[in-house]
Chain A
């Protein structure tokens, strides 16, 4: 680890998540018109990469993850048609999304993909990473819930994804649990084992208010790609707020190529009015960050709470204790029902 080197002149590629991670915060209900408006704004502000998909990515439309207003293809076609400079990316989680869906997304204009696995399960992604490369897409290996694997483990998993063809390895703080030293140790371990031309990325959540500090820590250790979302529109307390991060970068001399004032206007005039609830650190999203729980669980836990009468915080803490990971949203309802039975609020059908 280096003692805080100057980052002046470092180039960082910003990747906006409003239209993918933000879908979680909007219960997948962003309209095509809203997507087009946001994408235009991002493109005009010089954001080079824009992710557009159902919150859970390709194949995400389901009872488990909610049904979006439109298919991924409809969103992708609409956004691809209006952006002039930005590239459009998608999320693909093997076990949920498939190569058929990736091909279809490519045909609708997607040119970059995060192929995401839990941070210990990289070997579920070789087919998808190889296929993305074959399509000629900018391909990242995206290690979710990275706090649940130590630096040596993350380095091994990243190396595996690189061996399948990933050009960038992302550390993803899905629970917004990590502190800057956790990020530094993992990025440094990755940098040590990856080929010099393989990039490193960081995707943060702001549940402990550390999105920006963590992203800077990642850059200090050699990360060159940062995921963020304008006004923080994303799961949990949101992603690293992109316009705030851009301002910090500008102060530090990190080059992102984006227009800060345009992003500030987009946040204030377009994104914040779209929010159904203020995406911020509150009792439940803070619980996610504190207990290390997948950020997307937030709204599901609130719904289960309303239905079964168990406080959302109790459900989230229990999910953390049971080590549930991204994709196990069904276990939220299940856990709430089990807790409701224990507390005498619900009777078993067989009882």
Chain B
């Protein structure tokens, strides 16, 4: 069967995990991995797994895009580098899946709004953050039932699963996730908190989601909505599990989730890594299915438009 060929930019934890998930996909094929350090372990691992690699950043990939028919690129670098990468690759008609906090394109949480993005053939979609992927589906599950004034989420991540990029830029994580609780989750106001816990053995990613509804919560409808949303997420993240709740306290609805990963690159505790790469892969697959069915065609985007 024909597959859509992909490039993975960034050779850190996320890039490494993406290789496994993209390789497993029936519609995607990982072809290139892009790094910046010739001695990086990530690039060596990619070569062992059969990918072509460059250590010259995205410029090392550009000359090969046409010949290797690269149509989708995953970017797991940083917000600063992503803007430039996106311009260059969009110009060559490559669709970008942004795993950085850059958020140039629309924010994407697969069970909430992926369909819309695919229908509009968006050339750059942003995956928000791990905490966003883990919590926004639940906020949306409540807000589609009744209006939510305020959503607050607390993400607990194991120390070993949080890479240097996230650590050095925690504020971006906070802003991006808080903003997405409103724009995608549907709450009027949003706040995201992140905790990094060094316990050994490492704790599995935990997320607590609180929503304050405008009117008194209709408990049965909210429970149904939340449970069916969890089932949707489990289609691409099997370890997405309800631990406690939904529990109601006046107008507050609280849901306590756990996210175990598939254990591809990092062990199962790193559900935060998994939910990000699984959501990105799911997003790419939706686009790939449409491309392969001839329903959509990716078009070159001039750089001026790409950064708008």
Contact = CB atoms under 8 A, between A and B. Distances in A.
Interface residues of A, number: 32
Which residue, B154, B212, B247, has most C-beta atoms of chain A within 10 A? B154
Contact of A99 (B171, B173, B193): B171
Chain B: interface residue count, which band?
Answer: 35 or more
B155 to A, nearest CB: 9
A64 interface: yes
Interface in B160-202: 164, 167-171, 173-175, 191, 193-199
B170 A330 contact: no
B256 A324 contact: no
Contact of B175 (A96, A98, A118): A98
Interface in B53-95: none
A331 B254 CA distance: 12
A350 B206 contact: no
Given A62-B191, A333-B254, A95 B196 contact: yes
B152 interface: yes
Contacts of A324: 197
Contacts, number: 94
A121 B159 contact: yes
A322 B169 CA distance: 28
Contact of A338 (B169, B174, B244): B244
Contacts of A330: 154, 208, 256
A114 to B, nearest CB: 16
Given A95-B174, A98-B174, A120-B198, A349 B245 contact: yes
B252 interface: yes
A127 interface: yes
Nearest to A96: B193
Contact of B169 (A118, A121, A127, A349): A127
Contacts of A127: 168-171
Which residue, A95, A118, A123, A322, has most C-beta atoms of chain B within 10 A? A95
A98 B175 CA distance: 9
Interface string B82-125: 00000000000000000000000000000000000000000000
Given A127-B169, A128-B171, A328-B197, 10 more contacts: A63-B152, A94-B171, A124-B196, A127-B168, A127-B170, A325-B198, A328-B156, A330-B208, A333-B256, A334-B206
